[in-house]
Every structure is written in C-alpha cells, then in structure tokens.
Amino acid sequence: MDRAAARRGPPVDGRAALKDGALAGGVALALTLPLVGLRTVEVQSRLAIEFHLAEVAVTGLLVFLGRLGLSLAAGGLPGPVLAAALAAAAAGWLLPFPTETLRVLALAGAAVVAARALWALHNGRDRLSRQDRDRRMDRLGARLQDASRLLGPAAAAMAVALPFLPFADRAVLDLGILLLTYIMLGWGLNIVVGLAGLLDLGYVAFYAVGAYSYALLAQTFGFSFWLCLPLAGLLASCAGLVLGFPVLRLRGDYFAIVTLGFGEIVRIILLNWADVTGGPNGIAGIPRPSFFGIADFTAAPEPGRLAFHQLFGLDYTPLHRIIFLYYLILGLALLVNLFTLRIRRLPLGRAWEALREDDIACTALGINRTTIKLAAFAIAAMFGGIAGSFFATRQGFISPESFSFIESALILAIVVLGGMGSQMGVVIAALLVIGLPEVFRDLAQYRMLTFGAGMVLIMLWRPRGLLAHREPTILLHPRKSASRRQAEAAEGR
C-alpha cells in the first residue's frame, strides 16, 4: 500500500464525526451551564442568580461545530470544511452574539478549523505526526539558534540605542524596564530550570528576599544602592542555600511542590512579620539609586551634593533617572546572560546539563549531585535577589502582594515557553508574556486567562518549549552550523 493513502487514513465517517461533535458539544454545555449560565450576583447584600442561558447554548453549538469541522477536515473533506469555516467566520462578523467574547471565540475557532483544513488540502494528508511536527520545530529552533549568534548582539545593540530613538518616551522606557526585569529573572531561573533541570516554583521568594534586603538595609542603616546590590545578591543566595539544602534529595514533582511551599512561606512571613516588613502595607519611600554615588537625580540637590544634570551640564528632566534605570537593568540582565553563556562551557555548566538529561547516569559518572544542585540554586537565587533589589529601587515601594505565586508562575512560564535552556527563547517569551498584555491593556481582565490557556496549549504543542533545541556542548567539528547538524540528524533518523 502506498504511503500517501496510508497517511490519509480511513475515509470520512460522517456518523462518527457527528457523534464526536455532539459529545464535545454536550460536555461544553455541562461545563458552562452552572458557571456561565447561572451567575451569582449580589442584590441588596443577598445572592441571587442571573441567567445567561443564551451564552451557554451558543458555546455548546460553537464547540459542536468546531469539533465536527476538525474531524471532517482530518477525515478527508478539507475542501467543504474550508468553505464552511470561512462562511462561519463571515457569519460570525454579522450575526448577533450574546457577548463579544463569544464572537471572538467563534472567529478564532473558525480560523483554527480553516487553517487545519487548508493544511490538509495543501499537504495532501490529514495530520502531521508528532515526530514530524517536532522535527519541523526543531529545525526552526536550530535555525534561530544559528541566527541568534547575530540576532543576540543586534538585539543588544537595539536595546542600548533605544533611549535615544525618537519614539522613546517615558511609557516606552518603563515598558522596556519591565521587560528587562523579567528577562533578567527569566535568565536567572533558566539556570535552575533550563540548565540543571530542576523545576523551581518558588523563585519569587529570592526576588522578594532581594527586594526586602535592599529596602531594609537602605532604610535602617542608610546603605547606598551600590553597596546594597551585592549584599542583596549575597543574602538571596544564602536564602537559596538554606532553602535548597533540605530539598535537594527530592526529585521532579516533589521538588517543585516544596519550592512552591517555600515561596509561600516567605510571602506569609513577609505578610505577618509586621514589625520588620511592615506587613501588608509593605515598605514605602525606598531610596532611589544615585549615579554611582557621584550625583543624584534631582532637580535641586541637597547642599554639598551634585545633581546628575549639573555634572554633565544638561538641562534637568526626570527622564534622566528612567534612562539610567533602564541602562542599569540592561547591564544587569546582560551580565546574567554572559554568565550563563560562559558557565555552560565550564565543568559546572556541563555537570548541570548532564544532571538535566539523566540524574542517575550523572551520579554514576562521579558527579556530586548535591553540590551542583546547590550551586545552581544559590547562583540563580543571587540573580533573583539582585533583580529584586532593582525592583525595589525602581518602584520605591514594595509589599508582599508583588511576590505571590502567580509571579513565580509568570517567570517559570517565560523560561518554559521559550524553550528550556534557550537564552533567546527567554527574550521572545518575555516579549510575548509581559509585552503583549501591556500593549493590550484594555483586555487586562483576560490576561491571566489567556496566559493559563497559552501555557497548556504550548505544552501540548511543544512540550519542551517553543524554541527548545538542545545543542551538544562538545563537538568534534565545531564549525558546522546548528541547522546543518539538525538536518543531518533528521536524515539519519
């Protein structure tokens, strides 16, 4: 039997597809009936029910049609399905929907079905096997990794030039600072998750330790930012050692849950130890950084002190401090990046990667698991702490609210979605996860919803992350490009 026919699978079975669609639609009805259809609202301080049954019915119908379309497209009827999906999309524009969310869902669903049908038409087969798909994405990842040798410096140069570009106003710079903070955190966590393969769900604890260290040291002892920055890193790294030591014997999922527990413990302590941390009110009035201790960023400096604009003979604008903060975080982030890139070539970095691939084999080779795990934990914690003290000085105000589990999940998502261990992946994922929602501020309420759904979808589609491509660290012929090697490996398979 020739392979194309085999790939095409059995001829379309209309009844099975209908049954399948009806099942999916029925499940969708059951899922949405209580929570979407019957909404609890408070009327005169008593709960009452508001009915939204139309939304439930439309959801059920949409899921039914979508599921039916997908099975028929995969079952050998891509042409008609494509036409129907496009018609449905057109109808979606025009027909009245109970809510705009449902309209968006309908349009997106029609687009997905249409894309699937188009794909089937174009390739003459119903579906890509997981292996095919992985190979394609691996090739893309490899190509990007090749390109990142040029792309990385180019992006860094862009980032350096950004404050002097004409469109760089306060909002752009603030967004840039936010993005860079998350990129730095992502790169820091990447050491633990991407290199050593330990799933840390409590990274935000170290971020918090860094932020509170700076705030408390600066307010209690009057230490300057430049003294506090390494101190905060040191304290966070000590916290990493203390927390890391007991949990290092644990593996995989257990490790993840315990780190989550530690993250929560730190948050609860910050929340309740009101004498020191200010409890839920947090700490306000955290000192701003000076220009390397030489000059301050103020319009009118205190007597005996110099202001930044006086030092350089510029006119005063509040933007100076923002630009300075921007360069500060850019430098810190690039430092982390440089560290990671270099340490991968050292024995410690190699040991981490060995640990990630197979920890039992790694022990068998005589590597001390405990020491290298501890090192990964402490180093990542240090970078987290430094990022935390930057956060504190930028905000001028911190409270336990900024260090909840969801923050850990965001940072983890940046690492995982980008492709574990990929430095470029972190940047791209940070742009997606932090940048996109900032641009679509109006849809803020949907932000976490789409974020959760996106996390699931990307895992289903690419369990190792979007740009996961694991490059061997040692090569016989190091000159060969990664994409060539990938292609050869694919042929050899």
Partner 1 sequence: MDYFLQQLINGVTLGAIYGLVAIGYTMVYGIIGMINFAHGEIYMIGAFIAVISFLALGMLGITWVPLAVVMVLLLTMLFTAVYGWTVERLAYRPLRGSFRLAPLISAIGMSIFLQNYVQLVQGARVKPLPPVMSDVIVLLERGDGFRVSVSELQLLILALTVVLMIAFTRLIARTPLGRAQRACEQDMKMASLLGIDVDRTISLTFVMGAALAGVAGVMVTMYYGVIDFYIGFLAGIKAFTAAVLGGIGSLPGAMLGGLLIGLIEAFWSAYFSVEYKDVAVFGILVLVLIFRPTGLLGRPELEKV
The residue among 49 and 284 lying less far from partner 1, judged by its C-beta, is 49
| Window 333-372: residues binding partner 1 (CB under 8 A) | 358, 360-361
Q: Can residue 48 be called a binding residue for partner 1 (CB under 8 A)? A: yes
Strands (E), 216-360: 283-284, 295-296, 306-307
Among the listed ranges 120-128, 256-264, 424-432, 481-489, the one in contact with partner 1 (CB under 8 A) is 256-264
Question: Given candidates 276, 449, 475, 489, which one binds partner 1 under the rule CB under 8 A?
Answer: 449
| Chain position carrying tokens 């709960």 | 47
**CA 202 and chain centroid, separation:** 14
Least distance from C-beta 426 to partner 1, angstroms? 15
Question: Given candidates 9, 14, 19, 30, which one binds partner 1 under the rule CB under 8 A?
Answer: 30
d(CA 411, CA 290): 28
Least distance from C-beta 15 to partner 1, angstroms? 21
Q: Can residue 317 be called a binding residue for partner 1 (CB under 8 A)? A: no
Least distance from C-beta 254 to partner 1, angstroms? 6
Q: What region does 175 belong to: left with phi over 0, alpha with psi -120 to 50, or beta?
A: alpha
Q: Can residue 49 be called a binding residue for partner 1 (CB under 8 A)? A: yes
β-pair partners for 296: 307
Q: Can residue 91 be called a binding residue for partner 1 (CB under 8 A)? A: no
Question: Given candidates 68, 232, 256, 295, which one binds partner 1 under the rule CB under 8 A?
Answer: 256
The residue among 152 and 279 lying less far from partner 1, judged by its C-beta, is 279
| Window 452-471: residues binding partner 1 (CB under 8 A) | 452-456, 459-460, 463-464
- CA distances in angstroms from 88 to 75, 80, 81, 92, 155, listed in the order given: 20, 12, 10, 6, 41
Question: Given candidates 228, 412, 432, 433, which one binds partner 1 under the rule CB under 8 A?
Answer: 412
What interhelical angle do 204-221 and 405-418 show, nearest 10? Answer: 130
Q: Can residue 90 be called a binding residue for partner 1 (CB under 8 A)? A: no
Residues 6 or more apart whose Cβ sits within 8 Å of residue 12? 72, 75, 76, 77
Please report which residue ranges of 344-368 form alpha helices under DSSP H. 347-357, 359-364
- Give the residue from 310, 302, 305 showing the smallest Cα distance to 294: 305
Joined together, the tokens standing for residue 446 give 């949907």
Among the listed ranges 5-13, 44-52, 280-288, 483-491, the one in contact with partner 1 (CB under 8 A) is 44-52
Among the listed ranges 112-120, 214-222, 338-346, 407-415, the one in contact with partner 1 (CB under 8 A) is 407-415
Least distance from C-beta 349 to partner 1, angstroms? 20
Question: Given candidates 137, 409, 430, 432, which one binds partner 1 under the rule CB under 8 A?
Answer: 409
Q: For residue 468, how many other CB atoms are within 10 A of its CB?
A: 20
- Give the residue from 330, 326, 328 showing the smallest Cα distance to 183: 330
d(CA 243, CA 258): 10
User: Are 179 and 333 a contacting pair, CB within 8 Å?
Assistant: no
Q: Can residue 154 be called a binding residue for partner 1 (CB under 8 A)? A: no
Among the listed ranges 77-85, 176-184, 242-250, 303-311, the one in contact with partner 1 (CB under 8 A) is 242-250
Q: Which residues bind partner 1 (CB under 8 A)?
A: 27, 30-31, 33-36, 38-42, 46-49, 199, 201, 246-247, 249-254, 256-258, 260-262, 264-265, 268-269, 271-272, 358, 360-361, 405-406, 409, 412-413, 416, 445-446, 448-449, 451-456, 459-460, 463-464
